[in-house]
Amino acid sequence: MQTPTMENRILTGQTALITGANRGIGKALAKTIAHAGANTIITARNPEDLKHIEDIIAAAGGTSDAFQMDVTDSAQVRDVVNAVVQKYGQLDLLINNAGIDTGACLPWEQDPDEWWQVQKVNVRGAYLCSHAALRHMTKQGKGRIIDIGSLISATPSPTSSAYAVSKVALLRMSTCFADAAKDFGVSIFTVSPGLVATDLTSQPKFSDIPKDKWTPIEKCQAVVLALASGKADKLTGRFIHAGLHDLDELIQNADQIIEQDKLTLELKMD
């Protein structure tokens, strides 16, 4: 798949909301979605962090609005989503990107409140945003939600248990919501960006990872843009890895993937 460009305006007329858009992957996705023509709503706990992103989007000819939003605050999330729908008439795309991690630590050595805070942001936050968005999308009869997940959800991670647990919970939530919403015209996906160089991965625990194990952020941008366009709606409820999967190939094999129940979370039992 090609890297998205400013000339690719395939989302013209759509309205998209991106959480945690002030840095890293969220910032990159905000620019991609705006450059593709969508009215782009960028949110973060500190709105001052979003001003320079608004300027970048405007300079490229895009449209954006910035909102202060703590994804763990149900009233604030509801109010922002309602304000967006009131202004633009609909909400077409939600990207649940806001997330936090902690330093490497064995589970019993970590502060319980710190561990639980990761669940509050990464799981409760995505839940509240999806809950608010789906109330509008299901009435519209259309919409897409993209949850930014991680391959860590598929394997035990002894020193990153808080993050791993949050991402496996997010993946299961995404599949539950996808099954519930598909008959209402809403598609939901989990996208793993791969190991991308951001503030989140600047921690010491990532310092020894070889360069060839990292994924260019452009791959995540391309996958998210393609999913936002609707070309892969048949794969709703699936887990897609930006670094390991070719989305065009997945789309071509969608019937087989669905029939064999691939790219989903399952328990292997004898």
Task: List, for residues 16-66, the tens digit of each pLDDT value.
Answer: 999 999 999 999 999 999 999 999 999 999 888 899 999 999 988 888 999
The answer to whether 127 is a known catalytic residue is no
Write down the pLDDT at residue 216. 87
What are φ and ψ of residue 8, in 5° steps?
-85, 95
Write down the pLDDT at residue 170. 98
Instruction: Quote the CA–CA distance of 263 and 266 in Å, as a whole number.
Output: 9
Where in the chain are the domains? 15-259
Q: Which two tokens stand for residue 49?
A: 């962090």
Write down the pLDDT at residue 4. 43
Write down the pLDDT at residue 115. 96
- With a cut of 70, which residues of the chain have pLDDT below it? 1-8, 197-207, 210-214
Instruction: Indicate which residue of 163, 177, 189, 239 is catalytic.
Output: 163
CATH class of this structure's domain 15-259 = alpha beta
Write down the pLDDT at residue 3. 44
Residue 96 · residue 19 · CB < 8 Å: yes
Write down the pLDDT at residue 227. 98
